[in-house]
């Protein structure tokens, strides 16, 4: 088993990565302080792993909330549903929430944990590639609003992250591909060697080689852990992790949450950011081609939706959380393995790209 540590002083926590972790009855219980547990999952993941996880919690008083699947369910209505369940079932400050599912479940469960009785413990058990390499690590929790993605939330760290790579066996190909967008992001934004590794091992990744997948997930988690440890609340360098997201969130909000998967929108967003960088003479055309080629290999989109023009993009981008002082802040790649935060790019320049 690979065990990484996200170093945040008293709020540090382990990230466990291996096969068969959902059969290990010690990993979860060592991070539960009371006897009450609420398992939060969705109607796709719970039938696959819910009873198995509950079986690891013998001796605990366990109940569950099973939400519908989909990005559209990361809503204030479902946040209220979780709150009502916890209150109705007498959960206290010593209760622990377990988020069993993908990024939607992890985000909404973490936000519920941050808010319920001003903060209770939660554990991340991510079951999708995207959540394993990105959303389960780092403590960003939120729900969506029709006017913007992840605009209502909190920074709130879990007690542990348990990543069982065997759960990827039940992942739909489209969901796996969406996760690969976030994997590729790490290579583009700050680790050119990892991007080279992905190019070299793309066939083994696509084939589901467990050794390769474990190494890939660990490298992504380590990269994110290092960045979050240096900038937990995104005051600086952590914003680099949003490469492609300003464009991507605009696509998700405009198209309707769930029509494009998050990773699909991020993939198109990274290409748009790369094209912008080429236009500004910050990135070579050959690097842009490598980005497009690797994304295409994993069946990810490299073009924005045909029905989205500049006006549709800019109305959402103006609401982006990274913006300061009314200025758009964009993450721009300057080479494969290097990126920077820019707040000096005009809307006129963006219009030429979009």
Whether 10 is catalytic is no
Whether 224 is catalytic is yes
Whether 89 is catalytic is no
From the candidates 36, 74, 140, 316, give the one annotated as an active-site residue: 140
Instruction: Tell me which H or E stretch contains 331.
Output: strand 330-335
Q: What is the spatial distance between Cα 91 and Cα 74, in angstroms, rounded to a whole number?
A: 22
Whether 242 is catalytic is yes
44 Cβ contact partners less than 8 Å away, ≥ 6 residues apart = 69, 101
What is the tens place of the pLDDT at every residue in 270-317?
A: 999 999 999 999 999 999 999 999 999 999 999 999 999 999 999 999
From the candidates 54, 185, 224, 290, give the one annotated as an active-site residue: 224
**CA distances to 16, 17, 147 from 208, in Å:** 19, 15, 37
pTM: 0.95
From the candidates 149, 262, 321, 329, give the one annotated as an active-site residue: 262
From the candidates 10, 30, 118, 200, give the one annotated as an active-site residue: 118
From the candidates 73, 175, 232, 234, give the one annotated as an active-site residue: 234
If one counts every other C-beta atom within 10 angstroms of the C-beta of residue 129, the result is 29
From the candidates 249, 275, 290, 329, give the one annotated as an active-site residue: 249
Average confidence (pLDDT) per 10 residues, the chain, 354 residues? 96 97 94 97 98 96 98 97 98 98 98 98 98 97 93 97 97 97 97 98 97 98 96 92 96 94 97 97 98 98 96 93 85 97 93 92
Whether 340 is catalytic is no
Q: What is the spatial distance between Cα 98 and Cα 262, in angstroms, rounded to a whole number?
A: 22
Q: What is the spatial distance between Cα 62 and Cα 76, in angstroms, rounded to a whole number?
A: 24
From the candidates 242, 290, 321, 342, give the one annotated as an active-site residue: 242
Domains parsed from the chain with CATH numbers: 2-170 (3.40.50.1970), 173-353 (1.20.1090.10)
Residue pointed to by tokens 């990892």: 194
Whether 234 is catalytic is yes
Whether 238 is catalytic is yes
From the candidates 159, 245, 316, 342, give the one annotated as an active-site residue: 245
Nearest to 298 by CA among 339, 264, 332, 326: 264
If one counts every other C-beta atom within 10 angstroms of the C-beta of residue 235, the result is 8
pLDDT at 141: 98
Whether 249 is catalytic is yes
Whether 196 is catalytic is no
If one counts every other C-beta atom within 10 angstroms of the C-beta of residue 11, the result is 13
Identify the three-state secondary structure at position 262: helix
Residue pointed to by tokens 């003479």: 281
What is the tens place of the pLDDT at every residue in 49-104?
A: 999 999 999 999 999 999 999 999 999 999 999 999 999 999 999 999 999 999 99
From the candidates 238, 275, 290, 321, give the one annotated as an active-site residue: 238
From the candidates 73, 175, 182, 252, give the one annotated as an active-site residue: 182
pLDDT at 323: 83
Query: Alpha helices, DSSP H only, in the chain?
Result: 51-55, 76-88, 103-115, 129-130, 173-190, 192-207, 210-230, 245-255, 262-279, 285-297, 310-317, 347-353
């Amino acid at each position: 088993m690979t065990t990484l540590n996200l170093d945040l002083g008293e709020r540090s926590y382990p990230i466990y990565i291996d096969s068969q972790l959902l059969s290990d009855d010690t990993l979860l219980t060592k991070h539960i302080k009371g006897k009450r547990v609420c398992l939060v999952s969705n109607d796709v993941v719970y039938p696959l792993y819910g009873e198995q996880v509950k079986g690891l919690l013998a001796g605990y008083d366990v109940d569950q909330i099973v939400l519908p699947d989909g990005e559209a369910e990361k809503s204030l209505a479902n946040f209220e549903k979780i709150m009502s369940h916890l209150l109705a079932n007498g959960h206290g400050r010593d209760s622990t929430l377990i988020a069993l599912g993908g990024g939607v479940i992890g985000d909404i469960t973490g936000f519920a944990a941050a808010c319920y009785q001003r903060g209770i413990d939660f554990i991340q058990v991510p079951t999708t590639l995207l959540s394993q390499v990105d959303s389960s690590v780092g403590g960003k929790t939120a729900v969506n609003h029709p006017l913007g993605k992840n605009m209502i939330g909190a920074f709130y760290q879990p007690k542990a992250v348990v990543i069982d790579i065997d759960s990827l066996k039940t992942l739909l190909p489209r969901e796996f591909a969406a996760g690969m967008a976030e994997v590729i992001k790490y290579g583009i934004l700050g680790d050119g060697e990892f991007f080279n590794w992905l190019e070299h091992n793309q066939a083994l990744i696509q084939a589901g080689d467990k050794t390769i997948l474990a190494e890939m997930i660990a490298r992504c988690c380590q990269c994110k852990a290092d960045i979050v440890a240096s900038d937990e609340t995104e005051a600086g360098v952590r914003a680099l992790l949003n490469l492609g997201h300003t464009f991507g969130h605009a696509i998700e909000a405009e198209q309707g949450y769930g029509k494009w998967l998050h990773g699909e929108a991020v993939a198109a967003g990274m290409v748009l950011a790369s094209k912008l960088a080429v236009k500004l003479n910050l990135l070579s055309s050959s690097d842009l081609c490598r980005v497009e080629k690797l994304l295409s290999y994993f069946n990810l989109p490299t073009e924005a939706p045909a029905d989205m023009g500049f006006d549709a993009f800019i109305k959402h981008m103006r609401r982006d959380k990274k913006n300061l002082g009314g200025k758009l802040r964009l993450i721009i790649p300057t080479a494969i393995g290097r990126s920077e935060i820019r707040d000096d790019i005009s809307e006129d320049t963006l219009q030429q790209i979009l």
